A and B are shown apart, each in its own frame.
Chain A
């Protein structure tokens, strides 16, 4: 065996090990949701059961937290996507000096620990007499989710030809038409991706929510309190369901993205 094939094999093994490292823990956690033991585990394997799923189904608190999570996530999407998009457009048409100044403030929430965002949101709104609750969680999450949307839209704006807007204006289009018919259609892929990422960031969020939620539960807070208060495999059953949902969503997202890419490539080819 020469050194080149050896290097190739080493690399393949390394990749395979990393994939196993990333996926096996999830498989073990999900698998424990099917095992008929009191403490969640895959070893020893006692037998497949659906009782943890039934327990989960009957848990009213879980359903409440699912409802809350959905509302919060939708609210975050509907607030952060317009804000992030507007901020990116604004950033793209100001002087370089102002631009880097604003940019610093806009990306700061991404580099701020969630606990700090949560506490500062709580204190700020409290000084107006707004007490903790899920609407504060929404505002806290928006502060950093909007930054992700802004970055996605800003990247997409790089490939935008401002000449199109000039042409439309010269041909008598109104300002509203320029945005609606020229700019926004170009930004659709970034806005769509931004909405999906905003939704997932919100569903997954724990740190900001923990400090702002008041007495309400979201799904992650529910899981967190379950882990602390006494572990039963119902959490694993929930984890298994969430992983399945994640797989479906991730693959749908990827298929849509690839299709959009292909369409864009076909469009470019047709133009040539």
Chain B
């Protein structure tokens, strides 16, 4: 802080500190504390506010723990988000390696330039694209029946399969970029040394490249899992009646039930899940927060 004042003077330092404080306090920390507080209060008519019923209680959380359906949806959301995360990791790791170490840098640059298009098209349109592709009369069924692979059209948009397809498509680039960055920073000499010393391709990956790519892998996994678990758009577009997502239940409380207190308890559970996942990844892969958020 003294360093800041010495360089930029007292008034400019105060302005910068005030802007940062406004951001961190008014937009990040206190709103989340308010959310937390709200989740322990009851939804009451105005005339009962401040009355004997206006107390702190765990009732909103009991609403969740007493509902087998909601618990089920919560765990299915975790399950399928983890599945999407793993699928993205498996698809992008070889890709990131090829882009970082095999392809010529100019070719890689062109490749990424093209990828800017799907990255910058909003996720709602990206899931809508899959809604068209997977629909009964859609192109996928037309091709599959056309080449004789299936006899009659398959109902793709049912259960969680279409949600998983849509989520992978929507968030896979958030896995690719951090892993690419991590592998790209690895000195190619290390890979060559490993090969010269007789290590097999698998061993080189396992002992040299993957350990180096760990921060990127951690970053990608955290981002993809969080985006999946918190996704509103993809499940509403691609889910069917037998596949519900936890965010849809939060929406129900907020918009249909109009019970913001229960809604905030559910939102807090989602937040807690993401915090838990971040710390788990940091522990398992032994990386710091600075490595994850880059």
Q: Which residues of A contact B (CB under 8 A)?
A: 11, 14-15, 18-19, 21-23, 25-26, 28-29, 32, 39-43, 82-83, 86-87, 89-90, 93-94, 100, 102-117, 119-124, 127, 139-140, 142-143, 146, 151, 162, 165, 169, 174-176, 178-179, 200, 203-204, 206-207, 210-211, 220, 223-224, 227-228, 235-236, 239, 242-243, 246-247, 249-251, 253-254
- Asked if residues A23 and B226 are in contact (CB atoms below 8 Å), the reply is no
User: Is B20 within 8 A of A87, CB to CB?
Assistant: yes
- Interface residues of A: mostly helix, strand, loop or mixed? helix
B residues apposed to A, CB below 8 Å: 1, 3-4, 7-9, 11-12, 15-17, 19-20, 22-24, 26-32, 34-35, 38, 91, 94-95, 98-99, 102-103, 111, 113-118, 120-126, 128-133, 135, 137-139, 142, 169, 173, 222-223, 226-227, 229-233, 236-237, 247, 250-251, 254, 260, 263-264, 267-268, 270-271, 274, 278, 289-290, 292-294
Contact between A113 and B274, CB atoms less than 8 A apart: yes
Alpha-carbon distance A48/B229, docked complex (angstroms): 39
CA distance in complex: A28, B102 (Å): 31
Q: Are B254 and A119 in contact (CB under 8 A)?
A: yes
Q: Cα distance A220–B125 when bound, in Å?
A: 9
Question: 10 interchain pairs (CB within 8 A)?
Answer: A23-B118, A100-B290, A102-B24, A116-B230, A116-B267, A116-B268, A165-B7, A176-B12, A223-B122, A243-B121
What separation, in Å, do the CA atoms of A75 and B178 have in the docked complex? 29
Q: Of B24, B122, B232, which is in contact with the most chain A CB atoms at under 10 Å from its CB?
A: B122
* Interface pair B12/A41, CB less than 8 Å apart: no
Given contacts A29-B128, A228-B236, A239-B128, A116 and B290 within 8 Å (CB-CB): no
Contacting B293 at CB < 8 Å: which of A29, A107, A207?
A: A107
Of the candidates A82, A119, A146, A165, the one having the most CB atoms from chain B within 10 angstroms of its own CB is: A119
CB distance from B193 to the nearest CB of A (A): 19
Q: Which residues of A contact B263 (CB under 8 A)?
A: 119
A143-B126 in contact given A86-B16, A113-B229 (Cβ < 8 Å): no
**List of A residues within 8 angstroms of B126 by Cβ:** 25-26
Q: Judging by beta carbons under 8 Å apart, are B128 and A210 in contact? A: no
Report B-chain residues with C-beta under 8 Å of the C-beta of A235: 128
Contact call A26/B137, Cβ cutoff below 8 A: no
Q: Which residues of B contact A204 (CB under 8 A)?
A: 120, 122-123
Considering the complex, give the chain B residue whose CB is closest to the CB of A236.
Answer: B132
